[in-house]
Amino acid sequence: MADDYRRQGFELERRIFELDIKCSSLRAEKQDDDYLQNASAILDKLKSYYRQGGESSNLSKVLQDYTQVILDITFYEENKLVDQEFPEDCSPFKIQQLLQDLTEPEVLAGRLAPAQEVQSVLGLELLECLYWRRGALLYMYCHTLHQRKQWIKKNKDTFLKCIQEGVRYLMRMLQVRNSVKLNDGVVLHDTATANFLSEGIFSDTHLLTMMYIGEMCFWAVKYEDCSAETMDRKDDRLQFRDIGTQILNKYVLACEGPLQGQGWNTENAKEILSILQ
């Protein structure tokens, strides 16, 4: 078991040095990018840590730093895809690579610290961010594909698969803090805040996630009935109509209730709800 731990520790060290090479290559494209600069600074710290014979007691901090590097580098790569409007020839491969990169920290945390929950090793915010980034990437990709009507006619099942995967990631993001329950030991004098927490709404990003889920569910409902493959796999697919309706109702209640006047628009959400319901 000790040998397995050392082997996996070497795997993390190897990945850190591989990421350093990748980061240097990307910085050659855009030297002044803030995210790449931040990733490079963290990588320098991690390389120094290993050169000095890093101790396993700092594993959680190393994995958190490693995760931040992944988030920064992939953010730069995602922005390139968005700026290029997701080229049809290379986007599927690049998106799968990004999804794999954003999954790796969670996998490594499970391997290297099997006795601990992943959220305890990485922290709630980083784990949420990993799910958010994967879901948001697929949302942006599907948003672009949704405008390519001819492409969807030929690749409807691929489109629906991307939606389903994206919705799953975003729902997982909303569930990361669901274990934080309000109890008798928690005193909140603001009932609106208490309601937000009990519904899993902890930030603006959580609200945006709800809107993303609603839109993706709407796209799925629009196209899935015509898809032979998804009709043959009813047990595997998400109940998009029910999920979209539930999530958007929460979104509208929050935006028109405690958050009224805070800049959140509900027109699109209501329009989608009128169709889903």
Distance CA 273, CA 252 (A): 10
Res 110 pLDDT > 60? yes
Task: Based on the fold, state whether residues 169 and 224 are members of the same structural domain.
Answer: yes
Task: Based on the fold, state whether residues 160 and 94 are members of the same structural domain.
Answer: no
Task: Based on the fold, state whether residues 53 and 111 are members of the same structural domain.
Answer: yes
Res 186 pLDDT > 70? no
The candidate with the shortest Cα–Cα distance to 113, out of 8, 19, 42, 3, is 8
Task: Based on the fold, state whether residues 117 and 220 are members of the same structural domain.
Answer: no
Domain count, the chain: 2
Task: Based on the fold, state whether residues 103 and 206 are members of the same structural domain.
Answer: no
Distance CA 237, CA 122 (A): 30
Task: Based on the fold, state whether residues 179 and 221 are members of the same structural domain.
Answer: yes
Domain membership of residue 140 (yes or no) is no
Domain membership of residue 38 (yes or no) is yes
The residue out of 106, 121, 136 marking a domain boundary is 121
pLDDT in tens, 24-60: 999 999 989 999 999 999 999 999 888 877 665 688 9
Task: With beta carbons less than 8 A apart as the criterion, state whether 135 and 167 touch.
Answer: yes
Domain membership of residue 60 (yes or no) is yes
In percent, the amount of the chain with pLDDT more than 90 equals 65
Helix intervals (H) in the chain:
2-29, 34-51, 59-83, 91-112, 118-122, 124-145, 149-154, 156-175, 191-198, 204-224, 228-231, 240-256, 267-276
Domain membership of residue 141 (yes or no) is no
Domain membership of residue 130 (yes or no) is no
Task: Based on the fold, state whether residues 157 and 86 are members of the same structural domain.
Answer: no
Task: Based on the fold, state whether residues 79 and 174 are members of the same structural domain.
Answer: no
Return the ∠ at Cα 73 (arms to 67 and 78), rounded to 5°.
115
Size of the chain in residues:
277
Give the SS3 label for residue 243: helix
Res 234 pLDDT > 60? no
Distance CA 88, CA 151 (A): 9
Return the ∠ at Cα 271 (arms to 174 and 240), rounded to 5°.
45
Distance CA 151, CA 147 (A): 9
Domain membership of residue 108 (yes or no) is yes
Residue type, 246: Q
Task: Based on the fold, state whether residues 174 and 114 are members of the same structural domain.
Answer: no
Task: Based on the fold, state whether residues 157 and 267 are members of the same structural domain.
Answer: yes
Domain membership of residue 131 (yes or no) is no
Return the ∠ at Cα 149 (arms to 147 and 150), rounded to 5°.
135
Task: Based on the fold, state whether residues 18 and 109 are members of the same structural domain.
Answer: yes
Distance CA 70, CA 102 (A): 7
Range of the domain at 78: 1-121
Number of Cβ within a 10 Å radius of residue 267: 7
Task: Based on the fold, state whether residues 162 and 212 are members of the same structural domain.
Answer: yes
Domain membership of residue 21 (yes or no) is yes
Give the range among 32-41, 100-109, 214-223, 252-261 with minimum mean pLDDT: 252-261
Region of 194 on the Ramachandran plot (φ > 0 left; ψ -120 to 50 alpha; else beta): alpha
